[in-house]
Structure 1
Amino acid sequence: MMKPLLWLVRTTVFLLVLLAGPALISACSSQSGQSWRDADRSSAGIAPLPSQTEKAIVQVYGARAYNWRGNFAVHTWIATKVRGASTYEVHDVTGWGYKAVRSRPGEPDTAWYGNPPMLLADLRGEKAGAAIINIHTAIDAYPFANEYKAWPGPNSNTFVAWVIRQVPELNVALPNIAIGKDYLADGVFAKAPSGSGYQFSLNGYFGLMASIREGVELNILGLNIGIDPLALAVKLPGIGHIGLRDPWMDRSTWHKAPVMEQVSDAN
């Protein structure tokens, strides 16, 4: 009698831990009920204007998803600018339109329907130019170009994780709340998006990742909980990364003055 009761108590506590973060985010959110038509989509001013630099640029962004989905997850996207171009091209996946994948001219750092963007990676110069070629090749080969499923994938985070895995210049660690990043295109084993470790995933529902960049993440129904020892951090569902160091900063610079991750000054 005691064993089933103990199992029930442990399961209940574990589920409460998984859902505590999304519940806290929901309680603190001011977005509930806001129409997408009225939501902020303005530029955050993070990316340099094309008129300010000739260099090629690649940036990866994330922002809380729209409305209640933002209690659980972020939406991620990639922005590119070839050398000398007068505009950026934004690459992402959405659940509307006849095709899931979108590549279009636009501002790279706009709010995602009221939620401010966060810069996850920034490449410039020759390294960015090489990455852009590989990014376009990866986009063309994306296996879910006409598919979208918010949970557990394939979704916007599945797309960005796929592209990152195919582009050696992008060793980006996506947030643990990027639900869908663990939805794999082929099989149950793959490299971690950053390329610094490996992961096991059962269609995005359950999985485990161990990586230098991402740390250790356990995926339960798309909600990831984990630790990042190098960043002195824990990762909680809904809340995300809580630690003493910026997880998206180049880790070789942690003993130096802060430098934005992966920025190259090459022409």
Structure 2
Amino acid sequence: MWLATRLLLFILVVFILPALATLGWWLMQDRPNSWRSADWSASGVLPVAHSSKDAAVYVMAARTGGLKGAFSVHSWIVTKEAGDKPYVRYDKVGWGSPVRRNNYAPDARWYSNEPVIVRAVTGAEAQALIPKVEAAINSYPYSKSGDYHIWPGPNSNSFVAHVVKTVPELGARMPPNAVGRDWEAGWFAADWYPQSWDLHVTLNGLAGFSLGWGSGVELHFMGLVAGLDFARPAILIPAFGRVELWNSRELAEA
């Protein structure tokens, strides 16, 4: 009884209260009433494709819509081959054919929310990565109609997390408030990532942890993430995301 009480108190303080505080903040924001009234236009976060001949790979994210936006971002992938080539955007969505190609502008707002660049790779390194990224996209096992499950997954963030895990050379880390990023099929999964020295353990994305140089210390509960990032010092607050401990490089440049 004593142990159960302490565990419940820990969950309340570490996960539930921060998530409720983020919900309160979100309810005070000016948000569209529906997807029809939302702004889906280009944000200008990315440079114009034709302004550079360099190849590029971007992992991007923006808060999603409705009450979901209090707890999670939606993430996607953008690529651009070297030369006078356009951007190609890949999203997984919950309607129609789940993995969409160029359904939106590469840096479009998502439910009126401004996107951020989670990770950017450019030049020759990006050109070498693009075939691997595209192969990972094509190998995603949950890419058919009906494969989308908003929680705990597989969802849009599970899709991008699959690419990030399959192509560790990309050097990307999913945002802590990308609900669904830790989902894996089966009730138990344990993965070791030697490139970043990270151990990831999950119970179907519902509970688990990550530990290592790349991820720092993370605790996962019902899609929420709490923890500390040591490589780029930050606190990971459930639902809210990263809070940098001091001015550091943007995540895209890490």
Q: Deviations over 1:130-160 (max 9, x none)?
A: 1111111111111111211111110111111
- Give the aligned partner of residue 162 of structure 2: 162
* Distance across 2 between alignment mates of 1:105 and 1:10: 44
Equivalent residue letter for 2:21: L
Distance 2:195 2:90 in 1: 19
Q: Which residue of 2 aligns with 1:20?
A: 17
| Structure 2 gap ranges (5+) | none
More moved, 54-63 vs 79-88: 79-88
TM-score (norm 2): 0.88
The whole-number CA distance in structure 1 between the counterparts of 2:247 and 2:109 is 21
Q: CA deviation at 1:53?
A: 0.8
Distance (whole Å) between structure 2 residues aligned to residue 137 and residue 229 of structure 1: 31
Q: Which residue of 2 aligns with 1:255?
A: none
Alignment-derived partner of residue 189 in structure 2: 188
Q: CA RMSD in A?
A: 2.4
CA contact 1:58–1:123 (8 Å) conserved in 2: yes
Shift of 1:167: 1.5
Structure 2 equivalent of residue 60 of structure 1: 59
* Contact persistence 1:161–1:193 (CA under 8 A): no
The 1:52–1:62 alpha-carbon spacing in structure 2 relative to 1, beyond 3 Å, is same
- Displaced runs of 4+ in structure 1, greater than 6 A? none
Contact persistence 1:231–1:246 (CA under 8 A) = no
C-alpha offsets along residues 168-198 of structure 1, whole Å, 9 cap, x if unaligned? 3311111111111111257601246984412
Paired position in structure 2 for 1:127: 125
The size of the alignment, in residue pairs, is: 249
Structure 1 position 108, deviation (Å): 1.6
**Match in the other structure for 1:77:** 76
**Identical aligned residues as a percent:** 34
Distance 2:123 2:30 in 1: 38
Q: What is the letter of the counterpart of residue 18 of structure 2?
A: G
CA distance in 2, matches of 1:49, 1:208: 39
Out of 134, 137, 140, the position equivalent to 2:135 is 137
Structure-1 residue corresponding to 2:207 = 206
* Distance in 1 of aligned mates of 2:197 and 2:156: 22
Q: CA 1:184 to 1:70, structure 2 compared with 1: closer, same or farther past 3 Å?
A: same
Range that drifts further, 18-27 or 158-167: 18-27
Larger mean Cα displacement after TM superposition, 198-207 or 30-39:
30-39
Q: Which runs of 5+ in 1 are unaligned?
A: 251-259, 263-267
The answer on whether the counterparts of 1:57 and 1:123 sit within 8 Å (CA) in structure 2 is yes
Q: In structure 2, do the counterparts of structure 1 residues 170 and 17 end up closer, same or farther at CA, with 3 Å as the change threshold?
A: same
Per-residue CA deviations over 1:9-67 (Å, capped at 9, x if unaligned) read: 65145325412233222222325661111112222212111220111111111111111
Q: Cα distance, 1:88 vs. partner?
A: 1.0
Amino acid at match of 1:71: A
Q: 2-side partners of 1:117 and 1:193: how far apart?
A: 30
The match for 1:49 is 48
What is the rounded CA distance, in whole Å, between the counterparts of 2:2 and 2:189 in structure 1? 33
Matches of 1:152 and 1:248, distance apart in 2: 31
Matches within 5 A, 1:215-254: 215-245=216-246, 249=250
- Structure 1 stretch displaced more, 229-238 or 27-36: 27-36
Q: Partner residue of 1:261?
A: 253
